[in-house]
Amino acid sequence: MVHVATVVPISETVGANKIVPAVAIPYPLGNPDMPPDEEQRLRRRLVEKSIEALTTAVEEQTVFDS
Amino acid sequence: MDLENQERVKSLAEKHGPENLVVILGGAEAEASGLTAETVTVGDPAYAGPLAGVSLGLPVFHIVEPEIKEQVDPEVYEEQIAMMEMVLEVDDICEEVKNYREQGSKYLG
Amino acid sequence: MNRAQSTSADQRSLKKLRVVHYLNQFFGQVGGEEKAGMGPEVREGVVGPGMAFAKQLGEAAEIVATVICGDNYFGEQVDEAGAEVLKLIQKYKPDLVIAGPAFNAGRYGVACGAVAQRVTEALDLPVITGMYPENPGVEIYRRFAYVIETGNSAAAMRTAVPAMAALVKKFAAGAAIGGPEEEGYIPRGIRKNFFHQERGARRAVGILTKKLKGEEFVTEYPMPNFDRVDIAEPLSKVEDATIALVTSGGIVPRGNPDRIESSSASKYGRYSLKGVEDLTAETHETAHGGYDPVYANDDPDRVLPVDVLRELEKEGAIGRLHPYYYSTVGNGTSVANAKKYASEIAAELVNEGVQAVILTST
């Protein structure tokens, strides 16, 4: 499992082992200030990062930053 | 009571004078009704909205309280309230609202 | 250690404790969720709940300024926001900081806690806040503040303020601060050594004797509860894997057919993604009441990225997107309920051959 969340300390404190920092609280995988295709690319990058996290072996709680 | 409604009540009190207003509540729960009654009498107990620290002292009643119920056309009451009333904790609601009214309403005469 | 305690009693009674109060945008009277992105600002004197504190504190302490910051602004950049807020607090040279109370509001609790950490580490001042025990801010920051235990909503303001104020007054008086049960704060995880009348061996045997007799006993050292999760094996063949989406962001079919509550959700939903390529404002919405819903309602993929998962599926980058997603509202959800939903959801997912989950939160 990978947790896509904005407030990383909360994710860490509940024990998530793989965390992908999200964009913002009301739009974790988006950004309404971007033009639609840029936003789409942003969402794709975050999902790809999540998939990367799923396939990566970790020894401890790990935040997958860009 | 949410921020917008607090603002509305405050404006109405400023516009018409608190002695010319009565607040009638229709909420389904005693605790929530009590908090709203407190808000329009002594002020927002959560100190979150425009009525934080503002004591309007408005007279406040709940629609199921006898003082209000008996002033409503029985047919209208039957149509609009009777069904809901069956599932409410009427006694608890009346007690809560009465409590706050007695403590904080200034214009009951 | 705090400055209030190091001043002599005579000087103490003349000097009023200087306090700065930290609030979020809501209690700071600025606005609701639509203002949660506001950066830190200062107001002189009291704002909102500060009025209630002032009444309780009387001559013992004075709230000289209030710092207000949006919960999203803080939550989205905890370090930067903490530094900015610290700078604003420092200007007023307080003797003590009050934060919140935050009750069960998670972002607010984290902000109050982070402020407490900054103030404790940089200024060595006591910070008093108030939270419901399940607030994530408690577990993360409890050793940096005195977290008075409160109820789970703002309805508990009437009891939280007097309890917090009582502790502030103790600092003002230079009185010794007692343990958690005495003062009403949540245990900080700080061990203080002291000499007991009875020696340890005797006390240990005393406890053991009670235990053997089946009598009630009180442990001297409650075992800390580490909320850790076993690390799962990494996904090996992602191009063959079935991946499921789960969210606490409250994304539901338009109309919220199961009536998942906007706060303190009593249920979760399982919804079909069969034939769904993309979530839109027409097909889905958010039920979550704890964040500004406009962006998620406009395009629910911003919380539940179905569109991208479908693309990856088409390209063969993943095996497939599981045809069901699970959703609940993670706003004031009790830990007990969250655990229950999670174990039911996990059991179903495992049963249906799902190999990995992407969990999104707001």
Task: Render pLDDT for A24-62 as a digit per residue (tens, 0 to 9).
Answer: 999 999 999 999 999 999 999 999 999 999 999 999 999
**Are C54 and C122 found together in one domain?**
yes
Domain span at B62? 3-104
Q: What is the dihedral of CA A40, A45, A46, A52, to 10 degrees?
A: 150
- The number of domains in chain C is 2
Which of A19, A31, A51 is the best mutation test for C, with the most CBs of C within 10 A?
A51
- Tell me the longest C-alpha to C-alpha distance in chain C: 78
Contact list in C for residue B3 (CB cut-off 8 A) is 31-32
Contact list in C for residue B52 (CB cut-off 8 A) is 29, 48-49, 51
d(CA C313, nearest CA chain B) in Å:
45
Determine contact: C293 vs chain A, CB below 8 A.
yes
What is the C-alpha to C-alpha distance for residues B10 and C208, in angstroms, rounded to an integer?
A: 63
Look at residue C228 and tell me if it is in a domain.
no
- The number of domains in chain B is 1
What is the C-alpha to C-alpha distance for residues A10 and C77, in angstroms, rounded to an integer?
A: 13
**Are C9 and C77 found together in one domain?**
yes
Q: Rg of the Cα trace of chain B?
A: 14
Look at residue C196 and tell me if it is in a domain.
no
Residue C124, token pair as written in the block: 């060595």
**Are C146 and C249 found together in one domain?**
no
d(CA C3, nearest CA chain B) in Å:
30
Task: Report H helices in chain C.
Answer: 3-6, 9-14, 49-57, 71-75, 78-90, 106-123, 136-141, 157-173, 180-183, 200-212, 294-298, 306-315, 335-351
Look at residue B60 and tell me if it is in a domain.
yes
What is the C-alpha to C-alpha distance for residues C163 and C126, in angstroms, rounded to an integer?
A: 16
pLDDT number for residue C14: 54
Beta-bridge partner residues of A20: A4
Determine contact: C237 vs chain A, CB below 8 A.
no
**Which residue on chain C is closest to A33 by alpha carbon?**
C295
**Are C91 and C28 found together in one domain?**
yes
Is there a contact between C130 and C183 (Cβ–Cβ < 8 Å)? no
Q: Which of C185, C1, C174, C3 lies closest to C94 in space, CA to CA?
A: C3
Q: What are phi and psi of B60, to 5 degrees?
A: -135, 135
Contact across the interface for C157 and B52, Cβ inside 8 Å: no
Is there a contact between C355 and C346 (Cβ–Cβ < 8 Å)? no
Q: Both ends of chain A: CA-CA distance in Å? A: 19
Residue C144, token pair as written in the block: 């940096």
Residue B35, token pair as written in the block: 């908090």
Look at residue B109 and tell me if it is in a domain.
no
State yes or no: chains B and A have 3 or more CB pairs below 8 A: no
Residue C55, domain CATH: 3.40.50.280
What are the average pLDDT values for consecutive 10-residue runs of chain C, which has 362 residues? 48 76 96 95 97 96 98 96 97 97 97 98 97 95 96 94 97 92 91 86 94 91 78 94 98 97 95 97 96 96 98 97 97 91 97 97 94
The total number of residues shown for chain B amounts to 109
Domain span at C329? 238-360
- The number of domains in chain A is 1
What are the average pLDDT values for consecutive 10-residue runs of chain B, which has 109 residues? 92 95 94 95 93 95 95 94 91 95 89
What is the model's pTM? 0.83
d(CA C31, nearest CA chain B) in Å:
8
What is the C-alpha to C-alpha distance for residues B84 and C251, in angstroms, rounded to an integer?
A: 31
Task: Render pLDDT for C287-297 as a digit per residue (tens, 0 to 9).
Answer: 999 999 999 99
**Are C25 and C170 found together in one domain?**
yes
Contact across the interface for C32 and B49, Cβ inside 8 Å: no
Residue B21, token pair as written in the block: 């207003």
Domain span at A38? 3-63
How many interchain CB pairs under 8 A, A with C?
A: 140
Contact across the interface for A5 and C234, Cβ inside 8 Å: no
State yes or no: chains C and A have 3 or more CB pairs below 8 A: yes
Beta-bridge partner residues of A4: A20, C360
Look at residue C79 and tell me if it is in a domain.
yes
Q: Which of C82, C189, C65, C102 lies closest to C139 in space, CA to CA?
A: C189
Determine contact: B35 vs chain C, CB below 8 A.
yes
Is the peptide bond preceding residue B74 cis, with omega within 30 degrees of 0? no
d(CA A50, nearest CA chain C) in Å:
7
